[in-house]
Amino acid sequence: MGVPEQKIEQKIEKITNRQVSAIRPLSGGCVGDVYRVVMQSGPDLVAKVGDGQSGLAVEGASLEYLKNLSDLPVPEVLFSDDNLLLMTFLPSTGGLGPGAQAHAGELVANLHLISHENGFGFDSATIIGGLHQPNPWNKNWVDFFRDQRLLYMGRTALDAGNLPGQLMKRLEKFAGDLGRFIQSPEKSSLIHGDMWTGNVLADGGRISGFIDPAIYYADPEIELAFTQMFGTFNDAFFSAYKNIKKINAGFFEERLSIYNLYPLLVHVRLFAGGYVGSVDATLKKFGY
């Protein structure tokens, strides 16, 4: 733990005016170490503890944005700065069965109905997997996805020594032709931005919450694509989603692979390994 446990307890007790009974480690935490905080009275809490440069304040602000603007279930933020993010604890006792899948489809489709007049991006940078995610506003999605997602994260992975230079050149060629493969939608959609199984909580056959957001306004297909990278959602999800929001033809056959280049590049930057081969295979699929 980066901060002494006693200091964490004291800070939480001062914020909540309640006594801490125990602090227990939880899984996850690219941005900070995660703990379940058992209180002597009242519901348990979740604490993320950072080093002052971890982006926890950004995560807290993102959760509050989703809470205030959407019906997506997220933890309530009790306190946030770059040393501590304190949230309500959300129950998670079951997997993503058919009921939870359908519920998720409804929730995500309604999230994607929220748009922004500025187009694609966000008022500030956000965080994905602990990495800086730039979001300068752009009226054109193709330009935004090319410059702020593919090329930005590709160069970040290259600079880290995790993406081979020759592969970066191929990525640049593909990015230059991006308009052949995707188009800019008329309206942007608010997305969670990091929607994989570990960030989706279910309880009693329903979704209890979404955590660790990397929000911005995007083509919603980039979110739908990422849900397939690790097999998070299935046909029950997509059936419920399509009852509320249309998915255009060609997404599953072609654009899904294109949009997953971005999370693949994030994983190349973080882990290298087999993700480099996945980027290579996707570029080959499209002739690059």
What is the tens place of the pLDDT at every residue in 22-56? 999 887 656 668 999 999 999 999 999 988 777 89
What is the tens place of the pLDDT at every residue in 252-268? 999 999 999 999 999 99
Token pair listed for 9:
């307890």
What is the tens place of the pLDDT at every residue in 205-222? 999 999 999 999 999 999
280 is catalytic: no
Q: What pLDDT score does 28 carry?
A: 64
pLDDT class for 21, splitting at 50, 70, 90? very high
Q: Radius of gyration over alpha carbons of the chain, in Å?
A: 19
Average pLDDT, integer, range 191-196: 98
Q: Out of 43-52, 130-139, 194-203, which region has the weakest mean confidence (pLDDT)?
A: 43-52
Q: H or E stretch including 61?
A: helix 56-69
For 170, the 3-state DSSP assignment is helix
Average pLDDT, integer, range 271-282: 97
Positive or negative, the CA dihedral 162, 168, 170, 172 is positive
What is the tens place of the pLDDT at every residue in 54-65? 789 999 999 999
5-88: CATH topology: Phosphorylase Kinase; domain 1 (3.30.200)
Q: Domain residues of the chain, as ranges?
A: 5-88, 98-285
Average pLDDT, integer, range 56-75: 97
- Domain 98-285 carries which CATH code? 3.90.1200.10
Whether the per-residue pLDDT at 249 is higher than 80: the answer is yes
Token pair listed for 262:
């971005």
Q: What pLDDT score does 54 carry?
A: 76
Residues in contact with 127: Cβ distance below 8 Å, sequence separation at least 6, in sequence order: 31, 55, 58, 59, 62, 133, 214
Q: What span, in angstroms and rounded, lies between the C-alpha atoms of 105 and 135? A: 26
Neighbours of 254 (CB within 10 A): 14
Average pLDDT, integer, range 162-175: 98
pLDDT class for 1, splitting at 50, 70, 90? very low
Q: What span, in angstroms and rounded, lies between the C-alpha atoms of 27 and 2? A: 16
Q: Out of 28-32, 109-113, 125-129, 161-165, which region has the weakest mean confidence (pLDDT)?
A: 28-32
Q: If you search the block for the tokens 């294109």, which residue do you land on?
A: 258
Average pLDDT, integer, range 146-167: 98
Q: What pLDDT score does 162 carry?
A: 98
- Tell me which of 33, 82, 194, 219 is the catalytic residue: 194
Whether the per-residue pLDDT at 226 is higher than 90: the answer is yes
Whether the per-residue pLDDT at 99 is higher than 60: the answer is yes
pLDDT class for 20, splitting at 50, 70, 90? very high
Q: What span, in angstroms and rounded, lies between the C-alpha atoms of 171 and 150? A: 8
Whether the per-residue pLDDT at 2 is higher than 80: the answer is no
What's the chain's average pLDDT? 95
- Determine whether 152 is exposed, middle or buried from the number of CB atoms within 10 Å of its CB (0-12, 13-18, 19+): middle
